Structure 1
Amino acid sequence: MRRLIAATALTVSAVAVATPAFAFSSAPKNPVEALKKQFVAGKGVKVSETTTMLTDGKPSGGVGRMTGVIAFGKSGVVASDLTRRTKGGPAVKADDEFAALFSPTRYISVKGQTYAKGGIYSRDLPEGKKWVRVAGAPDATLSGSQLINIFDGSVLKTVLKGAKSAGGGVYKGAISLSDLSKASSGTSLPGKIGKVKVAYAITLNSKQLVTRVTSVAKLDFGLLGVMSMTADTRYTDWGSKVTITAPPEEEVIDAADLDTEVPELPSVLTEAAG
């Protein structure tokens, strides 16, 4: 559910995402500084996210939900504990081999490692093992679908600079995946995938902290139709106490040691690049 852009990335064509007109004013000046002040060890923020997918304007794939907490260190995100679930997907029986794909999956990312429990990672585990150490990018926000990473000061600055006020602390704009990647990693995305537009709306509270981000990305897959993903992410309890620890090592098995293959977990923009 969380990766619309992964499939056939090199063959897609961009579809413009319209941004509604509003009575605009200039972008806010200090949200990045407000964010940096939140980067305190032992503190964090609660996250909840809803992801919907449409094909030619019709619902497809069910609705994804993610809830959990993100922990900060002195320089940014250092850990996360997030649970994903899907509702309204294809009807499957409890003993169906695909049933696990639609059951809740919990991800813990801490100290450069990511551990997964449930969902597809619950199949064929040896006795005593409950968690799978998953290969891939140790990105503490990797199990979400939100393309706008507001915990990256460079990304936050870029999207707010390109946005205009819609009133009520809401700022709206659009950015290409290439420019989003450049803001995040300094590297642009090539070809048609880089030209795909992401429309976004960012809500700030009175302390200039982000409380909500909504993004929409659309891809034209030709005969397969036009697919779009909307990610609506909310951030609450900024500065709350957060403690995240790795699962007990005796309950962990490496993905490479499983008889069943499980996917790696690349970051959103890395996966977008194909």
Structure 2
Amino acid sequence: MRRMIATLTGAAAAALIVPALVAAAPASARTAPDDPVSALKSQFTAHRGVKLDEQGKLIGEGKTERVILSRRAGVLEFGRKGVVASDLTSTFSLPSGDKELAEEFKDLFSPTRVITVKGFSYTDGKFYGDAMPEGKKWVRARAGLASPGNPAQQLVNPLEPATLKAVLARTAAKRPGGTWDGARTVVHSGTITLGELYKVSPTVRALLGAKPSATSAVLPVKWQLYIGSDRLVRRAVSSWTQSLRGLTSIDLTYLNDSRYSGWGVKSAIEAPPADQVAEVGELDFEGGNEDPFARLMTTEN
């Protein structure tokens, strides 16, 4: 277990990175900006934020289809240029049918809370299992844009102005989207390539770790954005498929459905108490190079 945990210390989601890819006034009560990008930027105020409820699905399509379900919920806090802090808890549902495998991965996929603030992330120690020093509850590391252990995060991040602009420029269709967070919405949908997202999105660059190969760059990412009359995004849905055939025997499909609510909510996220925090260098585990997500997808029932 400790050997597998080590593979994730410096990366947010090993399954996503393979060699080939390397209370303020309610928003609805304000004067609505003319476009979604301007509306988003108008929310960038210190100690205000938005609530996130995100559901992800990682589907391994091989001899035996395996599915990992994930959910991530909490608060994202804004500064003058975008998200500057977050407090998010992730939960997982593993492939069934293998009790031994479930026991081996129980710490890795237990509910995990990650607080990110002032350039550092603090991860609940259960994620690291018995590698944690005695008496410590959190592990501190330089903050990234991806959440540890979550392989199916939102690839189309609508909280990044450049990403939102680039995606909406590729809108192929619009239709009524129903009511979300008390706002009537219009669904904008289309397709954008992984390479195009890599160019504009810090989140995608953090998830992939390196520029996509020529083959990977043209992979299509399907997306839907539910936008309210105040031009704020209430829901973002994306999906894409990555073929690992040649490296493993599977294709991986990533599905994500993110809901954004409570725009303008008050937020004052702080780091955990210093005496409960361990540094990455204090963790006691042996290194290894096994990808636990790939193993979960390829192990036979």
AA in 2 matched with 1:108:
I
C-alpha distance in structure 2 between counterparts of 1:94 and 1:59, whole Å: 16
Note the C-alpha offset of 1:258.
1.0
| 1:39 and 1:74 in contact (8 A); partners too | yes
* Residue 55, structure 1, aligned to residue 60, structure 2: yes
Match of 1:165 in 2: 173
Note the C-alpha offset of 1:120.
2.5
| 2:114 and 2:147 in contact (8 A); partners too | no
* Residue 124, structure 1, aligned to residue 141, structure 2: no
C-alpha distance in structure 1 between counterparts of 2:252 and 2:59, whole Å: 6
Unaligned runs of 5+ in 1: 12-27, 264-274
Which of 187, 197, 203 is the equivalent residue of 2:220? 197
Note the C-alpha offset of 1:95.
9.7
| 2:133 and 2:284 in contact (8 A); partners too | no
Percent identity (aligned): 36
Structural mapping, 1:1-274, within 5 Å = 4-10=15-21, 30-56=35-61, 59-90=65-96, 91-92=98-99, 96-135=103-142, 137-139=143-145, 142=147, 145-168=153-176, 169-184=186-201, 189-222=212-245, 224-260=249-285
AA in 1 matched with 2:16:
I
Q: 1:189 to 1:222 in 2, by over 3 A?
A: closer
TM-score normalized by structure 1?
A: 0.80
| 1:4 and 1:228 in contact (8 A); partners too | no
- SS of alignment partner, residue 207 of structure 1: coil
C-alpha distance in structure 2 between counterparts of 1:92 and 1:100, whole Å: 14
Unaligned runs of 5+ in 2: 1-11, 23-32, 177-185, 289-301
Q: Deviations over 1:132-178 (max 9, x none)?
A: 0134x532x54560011111100000000111333111011111111
Note the C-alpha offset of 1:3.
5.8
AA in 2 matched with 1:9:
A
- SS of alignment partner, residue 9 of structure 1: coil
Q: 1:179 to 1:204 in 2, by over 3 A?
A: same
AA in 2 matched with 1:87:
S
AA in 2 matched with 1:37:
S
| 1:255 and 1:261 in contact (8 A); partners too | no
Q: How many residues align?
A: 245
| 1:171 and 1:203 in contact (8 A); partners too | yes
C-alpha distance in structure 2 between counterparts of 1:262 and 1:44, whole Å: 38
TM-score normalized by structure 2?
A: 0.73
Note the C-alpha offset of 1:77.
0.6
AA in 2 matched with 1:174:
T
